[in-house]
Amino acid sequence: GEDVEQSLFLSVREGDSSVINCTYTDSSSTYLYWYKQEPGAGLQLLTYIFSNMDMKQDQRLTVLLNKKDKHLSLRIADTQTGDSAIYFCAGGMDSSYKLIFGSGTRLLVRP
Partner 1 sequence: EPEVTQTPSHQVTQMGQEVILRCVPISNHLYFYWYRQILGQKVEFLVSFYNNEISEKSEIFDDQFSVERPDGSNFTLKIRSTKLEDSAMYFCASSEFGGGSYSNQPQHFGDGTRLSIL
Binding site residues, partner 1, CB under 8 A: 30-31, 33, 35, 41-45, 48, 50, 52, 88, 90, 92, 94-104
Pair 74, 61: CB distance under 8 Å: yes
Amino acid letter, 33: Y
| CB nearer partner 1, residue 79 or residue 89 | 89
- CB 54 to partner 1: min, Å: 15
Closest CA to 15 of 71, 81, 65: 81
What gap in Å lies between CA 33 and CA 25, rounded to an integer? 15
Nearer to partner 1, 83 or 104 (CB): 104
Please report how close the Cβ of residue 61 comes to partner 1 at its closest, in angstroms: 14
